[in-house]
Amino acid sequence: MTGVRARGEDVRRFILNHVEKHPADIAKLAGEHFKITRQAVNKHLQRLTSEKALSESGETRNRSYKLCPLSEWMKRFQMDGLEEDVIWRDEILPVIGEMPDNVKSIWQYGFTEMFNNAIDHSAGTEISVRIKKSAVTTEMMILDNGVGIFKKIQKAMNLMDERHAILELSKGKLTTDPANHTGEGIFFSSRMFDEFDILSGDVFFSHEFGEKEDWILERDTMQGTAVWMKLHNHTSRTTRKIFAEYSSGDDEYIFNKTIVPVKLAKYGDDNLISRSQAKRLLARVELFKVVILNFNEVPTIGQAFADEIFRVFPNEHPNVELIAVHTNSEVKRMIERAKSGGTIPPPNPSTV
């Protein structure tokens, strides 16, 4: 009997973990995974529905399911005199409720960093926090009515536009107040959560754990900044693992490695060919010991672009290790040519 009960819990856990991506065919998916009948799966669906873990809609043949929020909470705060650790302890922690310690630590890090960022940098007057918790995940949005994070970065660093601010933000160690902030909060928060989004101005920044970066750059203008975070309630991820992932030395808490998405140096259909584009890509990377340049979705690069990155920059910064990843054959050849000082002939266009 104990084995039957344990198997039933496995089926229900599988349903809860997959229903968001399979609302209409979750019964079929679970049946195939556990090799049980649709009728057996339906009993588990009915139980989860009666327990209000799931809600259902539609007729029998077109029925779909979705997670029910176990709790929803929202509160607006006046910024004057706020302290993020006090708000975390007195307001947020009771709403989040019981969670494994590693999950609670991620939420504490993400909330306090993002809430403090709004207090210190937004120049706004109000912050709203919204929390929605289901049987599987917890979501949080922190919304302020300030000047907007990307616009502020653009102005403070004299960048071309808000899109350029995203490129700098993706590298890490970016702050408009270096005397009081390290610039690590947003970078590490975006890596800790299953999903992490920032909406501000005309720009939408999105990072999904374990997936390729997703950058959506056109949207309706929004005042202020909204940060949205989502995390599985029982993830095995830890803050320590994330910190260690971006450390290249013995001390796992030293932030000296970064990953730069090269495609963000592009504008529209422009190819990456100029030294100016390369210099924008390389801005501030000398702050790191190891820089991983992700060439995903970059089909080609020019000779001057490659030369500036892989010959000129290493000569000027010999202590910084540049590592190119996800390069196609054409990009790889151009990089090798730059490293050799131009001795490798470029590919014949007629044979490419």
Q: What is the CATH number of the domain that holds 152?
A: 3.30.565.10
E strands, 145-253, where? 195-201, 203-208, 214-216, 222-232
The model's confidence at residue 340, banded by pLDDT at 50, 70 and 90, is confident
Lowest model confidence (mean pLDDT) among 4-13, 182-191, 295-304, 317-326: 4-13
Q: Do residues 219 and 116 share a domain?
A: yes
Q: Do residues 299 and 328 share a domain?
A: yes
Q: Do residues 230 and 293 share a domain?
A: no
Give mean pLDDT, residues 310-336.
93
Q: Are strands 203-208 and 214-216 parallel, antiparallel or unpaired?
A: antiparallel
Assigned domain for 251 exists: no
What kind and span of H or E run contains 131?
A: strand 126-134
Query: Which comes out higher in pLDDT, residue 268 or 96?
Result: 96
Count of structural domains within the chain: 3
Query: Which comes out higher in pLDDT, residue 255 or 144?
Result: 144
Q: Do residues 263 and 296 share a domain?
A: yes
Q: Is the pLDDT assigned to residue 312 strictly greater than 90?
A: yes
Assigned domain for 311 exists: yes
The pTM of this model reads 0.68
Residues 138/110, Cβ–Cβ less than 8 Å: no
- φ/ψ (deg, to 5) at 22: -135, 60
Assigned domain for 250 exists: no
Q: Is the pLDDT assigned to residue 267 strictly greater than 50?
A: yes
The model's confidence at residue 94, banded by pLDDT at 50, 70 and 90, is very high
What confidence tens digit (pLDDT) does each residue in 155-184 have?
887 887 777 777 777 777 666 655 555 567
Query: Which comes out higher in pLDDT, residue 348 or 310?
Result: 310
What confidence tens digit (pLDDT) does each residue in 121-164 have?
888 999 999 999 988 899 999 999 998 888 888 888 788 777 77
Q: Do residues 74 and 62 share a domain?
A: no
Assigned domain for 224 exists: yes
Assigned domain for 247 exists: no
Q: Do residues 113 and 171 share a domain?
A: yes
Q: What is the CATH number of the domain that holds 50?
A: 1.10.10.10
Secondary structure class of 199 (helix, strand, coil): strand
Residue in this structure with the two tokens 């039933």, named with its chain if needed: 8
Question: What's the whole-number average pLDDT of the chain?
Answer: 83
Give mean pLDDT, residues 42-57.
86
pLDDT at 351: 44
Q: Is the pLDDT assigned to residue 7 strictly greater than 70?
A: yes
Assigned domain for 82 exists: yes
Residue 173, token pair as written in the block:
């160690």
Assigned domain for 248 exists: no
pLDDT at 139: 94
Q: Do residues 80 and 181 share a domain?
A: yes
Nearest to 158 by CA among 1, 53, 283: 283
Nearest to 282 by CA among 254, 316, 253: 316
251: how many CB neighbours lie within 10 A of its CB?
A: 11
Domain boundary among 217, 241, 265: 241
Residue 31, token pair as written in the block:
């049946």
Assigned domain for 272 exists: yes
Q: What is the CATH number of the domain that holds 319?
A: 3.30.750
Q: Do residues 103 and 201 share a domain?
A: yes
Domain boundary among 67, 100, 119: 67
Q: Do residues 264 and 179 share a domain?
A: no
Q: Do residues 61 and 73 share a domain?
A: no
Q: Do residues 226 and 164 share a domain?
A: yes
pLDDT at 352: 42
Q: Is the pLDDT assigned to residue 6 strictly greater than 90?
A: no
What confidence tens digit (pLDDT) does each residue in 108-124 have?
999 999 999 899 888 89
Q: Which of 192-201, 265-274, 308-317, 339-348 has the highest mean pLDDT?
A: 308-317
Residue span of the structural domain in which 49 resides: 2-67
